[in-house]
């Protein structure tokens, strides 16, 4: 079975949790820019957390399904409907054969992650179904989706089939994921950071700018990274640096002093100073940034960053257990 895209939207691609284990060969991690949103949406659809779904940028989608499927989505404040019925974020929703699903432009944020029971069944490339838009492999022919594309869907799990039975009448589940997981976009974004290896290369005035002033997202941003306009960050020296490993969340400062926050499609090494790193639990906020948004940074300790991450994983485990009770 498959789904067909009447309209593919501004930028829609097949993504899963990314291509782990190949960074030493220069292959980007890739995957969903908000892997946590994809994990949550997959659980709501009855899938494995690692199943492939759709990453949707700025909406504009219209699609149909060949058979009954459970869907779920998380992300920005999008208007998602089947016919005239709104489908809220963070809920399991039943779509019947020939239902038309539309996803319109968001009011806040820019991305959403849509999962479909059974997952999107495109071939694995280097252990992942994710689309690498720069290297042109993975997903559907290594590219963004186009109007008229069809996508194969995998076999539905027992839990997905039980959800179909549970939702035959109400269509939209009464249960949901926590609101902060379902809708991660903010009108005023504060990203928590830990110090990078090159923190000491910047003087106190520059550090105060980083942690006090607001930065504005540049239009020159994409899945590789978010560029910021605003206060310039100048380092103490002009010594050339040896290229070192970088990762999603790293904040680099190029010679023009305008910082770059790296995202999922970032390169594997970089030579710009690494002033800080956005903590893992705040990367969903970074994935929603679009041109003109204002961002502030707030320093936390590494111990706090670990604590926030462990607490979120504990909450997700409780959420998994709660979902499983709907199959009992």
pLDDT band at 327 (very low <50, low <70, confident <90, very high): low
pLDDT per residue as tens digits for the range 94-113: 999 999 999 999 999 999 99
Kindly give the interhelix angle for 35-44 and 302-324, rounded to the nearest 10 degrees.
10
Cβ neighbors of 79 (< 8 A, separation 6 or more) are: 59, 86, 103, 104, 105, 106, 107
What per-residue confidence (pLDDT) applies to 236? Answer: 86
Mean pLDDT, the chain, rounded, equals: 95
Instruction: Tell me the C-alpha distance between 154 and 156, whole Å.
Output: 6
What per-residue confidence (pLDDT) applies to 199? Answer: 96
pLDDT band at 235 (very low <50, low <70, confident <90, very high): confident
Instruction: Report whether pLDDT(87) > 90.
Output: yes
What per-residue confidence (pLDDT) applies to 1? Answer: 73
Structure tokens at 177: 């994921």
pLDDT band at 59 (very low <50, low <70, confident <90, very high): very high
pLDDT per residue as tens digits for the range 165-184: 999 988 999 999 999 999 99
What per-residue confidence (pLDDT) applies to 328? Answer: 56
Instruction: Tell me the C-alpha distance between 105 and 82, whole Å.
Output: 15
Question: Above pLDDT 90, what percent of the chain?
Answer: 91
pTM: 0.96
Token pair 């904040």 in the structure block, residue: 251
Cβ neighbors of 84 (< 8 A, separation 6 or more) are: none
Instruction: Report whether pLDDT(240) > 80.
Output: no
Sign, Cα dihedral of 200, 26, 249, 292: positive
Instruction: Report whether pLDDT(320) > 60.
Output: yes
pLDDT per residue as tens digits for the range 20-55: 999 999 999 999 999 999 999 999 999 999 999 999
Candidate from 47-51, 137-141, 241-245, 295-299 with smallest mean pLDDT:
241-245
pLDDT per residue as tens digits for the range 121-160: 999 999 999 999 999 999 999 999 999 999 999 999 999 9
Instruction: Kindly state the helix (H) or strand (E) to which residue 296 belongs, with its residue range.
Output: strand 294-299
pLDDT band at 324 (very low <50, low <70, confident <90, very high): confident
Q: Return the number of other C-beta atoms located less than 10 Å from residue 166's C-beta.
A: 17
Structure tokens at 133: 């838009």
What per-residue confidence (pLDDT) applies to 326? Answer: 76
* Mean pLDDT (whole number) for 261-266: 97
Instruction: Report whether pLDDT(322) > 70.
Output: yes
Q: Return the number of other C-beta atoms located less than 10 Å from residue 238's C-beta.
A: 7
What per-residue confidence (pLDDT) applies to 124? Answer: 97
* Mean pLDDT (whole number) for 252-267: 95
Instruction: Report whether pLDDT(238) > 80.
Output: no
Domains of the chain in sequence order = 2-182 (no CATH), 189-308 (2.40.100.10)
């Amino acid at each position: 079975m498959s789904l067909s895209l009447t309209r593919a939207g501004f930028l829609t691609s097949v993504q899963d949790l990314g291509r782990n284990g190949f960074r030493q060969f220069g292959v980007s991690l890739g995957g969903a820019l908000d892997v946590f949103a994809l994990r949550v949406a997959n659980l709501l659809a009855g899938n494995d957390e690692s199943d492939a779904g759709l990453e949707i940028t700025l909406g504009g989608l219209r699609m149909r399904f060949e058979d009954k499927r459970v869907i779920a989505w998380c992300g920005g404040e999008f208007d998602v409907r089947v016919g005239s019925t709104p489908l809220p974020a963070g809920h399991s929703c039943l779509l019947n054969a020939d239902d038309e699903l539309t996803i319109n432009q968001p009011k806040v944020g820019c991305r959403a992650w849509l999962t479909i029971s059974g997952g999107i069944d495109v071939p694995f490339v280097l252990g992942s179904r994710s689309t690498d838009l720069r290297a042109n492999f993975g997903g559907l022919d290594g590219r963004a989706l186009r109007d008229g594309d069809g996508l194969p869907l995998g076999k539905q799990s027992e839990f997905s089939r039980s959800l179909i039975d549970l939702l035959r009448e109400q269509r939209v589940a009464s249960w949901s994921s926590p609101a902060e997981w379902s809708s991660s976009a903010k009108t005023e974004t504060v990203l928590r950071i830990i110090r990078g290896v090159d923190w000491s290369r910047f003087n106190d005035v520059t550090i105060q700018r980083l942690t006090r002033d607001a930065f504005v997202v540049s239009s020159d941003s994409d899945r590789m990274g978010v560029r910021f306009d605003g206060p310039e960050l100048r380092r103490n020296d002009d010594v050339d640096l040896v290229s070192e490993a970088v990762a999603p969340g790293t904040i680099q400062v190029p010679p023009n002093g305008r910082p770059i926050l790296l995202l999922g499609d970032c390169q594997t090494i970089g030579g710009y100073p690494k002033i800080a790193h956005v903590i893992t639990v705040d990367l969903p906020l970074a994935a929603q940034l679009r041109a003109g948004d204002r961002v502030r940074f707030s320093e936390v300790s590494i111990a706090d960053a670990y604590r926030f991450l462990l607490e979120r994983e504990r909450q997700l485990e409780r959420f998994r257990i709660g979902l499983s009770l709907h199959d009992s």
